[in-house]
Amino acid sequence: MQTEIKVPAIGESITEVDIGEWLKKEGEAVAKDENIVSIESEKATVELPSPSAGTIVKILKAKGQTAVVGETIAMLDSNGAPAPKAPEPKPAAPAATVPSQSPRVMPAAERLLAENQLRADQVQGTGPGGRILKEDVARHAETKVTLPAPPDKSAAPPPLPAKAALAPARDSNRPDEVVPMNRLRRTVAQRLVEAQRTTASLTTFNEVDLHEVMALRKQFQDTFVEKHSVKLGFMSFFVKAAIEALKAIPQVNAEIRGNDIVYHRYYDIGVAIGGGKGLVVPVLRNAERLSFAQIETAIAEFAKRAKENKLTLEELQGGTFTISNGGVYGSMLSTPILNPPQSGILGMHNIQERPVVRDSQIVIRPMMYLALTYDHRIVDGREAVTFLKKIKDLLESPARMLLEI
């Protein structure tokens, strides 16, 4: 008996996915619940398990193609016997001339057509029934060459602009590579633009002396690793400090819903991580209940699975506040972008030793710039500055976090 492998519903508002790597080929046997293909949505990449044991007899959607939720992407023979491949169909005899119909264009392909200023009748579709797929448009756009019009020898050549000589001529020795954005990257781009359009974003800055935090890490690192099998990093200190600051300034832990302000009385902290296919923000649920070790363990696990594209949708949804650490890439200062509907995001940056004055003496200290981007519709400037100052004070005297003072 043959079973259809369909795209499942993998999240609220997700209607379309991209087909990723096929883990099984046509003719290969597969066990029940064994992963057979990865599918990529705008939120995450997940692997689709087989509903029963059998043999993959037909793959209907290749890697890179688009499929809608509920669409059949493969056929499984649950009897387990590999089915012979169907013979190639012979070309049909030319049909009588009839009015031509416009080829069907898949949604992802339609977007690429618009981006490349192409018409559907310019692209040869390779999908079922001549459908135009996203890869058909990308292939055509990559190979498209625009020929210049023949010169009018009778007319005098127009004068070149002053800067024209600075622009290098395009030739075959300077090729371009056209790569369509994956679904995650497209979604990130759309949401970043949407955040700038729908929020009243403003950023305030401060700097923090991490001498005491680094001293604590050095003093207890070996014992911490021996007991918890994970290193004591900086992120757990920042998460703890952010939670205390959010308790003091609840507007930063709130969001706008219509004409209402919703104050969250829990602390789900999103931690921005560079994943295998782009930036992802997994969420530490009820972070106020987590110990330093639990925070460090959770973040390390998030980072590992982000590189493998194995984070689940539930881990990427929600969040009341976000922390982004551009310092791991060497950033000295930046203005992070809000992650709506959240009203605040904290940006960490590179640690550099700089001369500062302490007790009327110039000393060298490990300093970091901090940036808080906030939604000015909810958070006033005084509250934003107070929030960032609270984090600074806690990190410069980390024992206060343990004593809750």
* Beta carbons within 8 Å of 280's beta carbon, 6+ residues apart: 44, 184, 272, 273, 306, 311, 316
Do 207 and 356 touch, CB atoms closer than 8 A?
no
Catalytic residue among 228, 264, 380, 393: 380
Look at the alpha carbons of 390, 375, 319, 250 in this order and tell me if their dihedral is positive or negative: positive
How far apart (Å, rounded) are the C-alpha atoms in residues 66 and 39?
A: 10
Give catalytic status of residue 380 as yes or no.
yes
CB atoms within 10 A of CB 371: 21
- 207 membership: H or E segment, kind and range: strand 201-209
Give catalytic status of residue 140 as yes or no.
no
How far apart (Å, rounded) are the C-alpha atoms in residues 348 and 328?
A: 9
Cα dihedral 191, 197, 198, 199 in deg (nearest 10): 100
> Most distant CA pair in the chain: distance in Å?
95
Place of tokens 């193609």: 65
Q: Smallest Cα–Cα separation from 237: which of 317, 323, 352? A: 323
| Order of all β-strands in the sheet with 54-59 | 2-6, 72-77, 54-59, 29-30
Catalytic residue among 33, 121, 222, 376: 376
DSSP assignment, residue 301? H
Which residues are catalytic, by number?
Answer: 376, 380
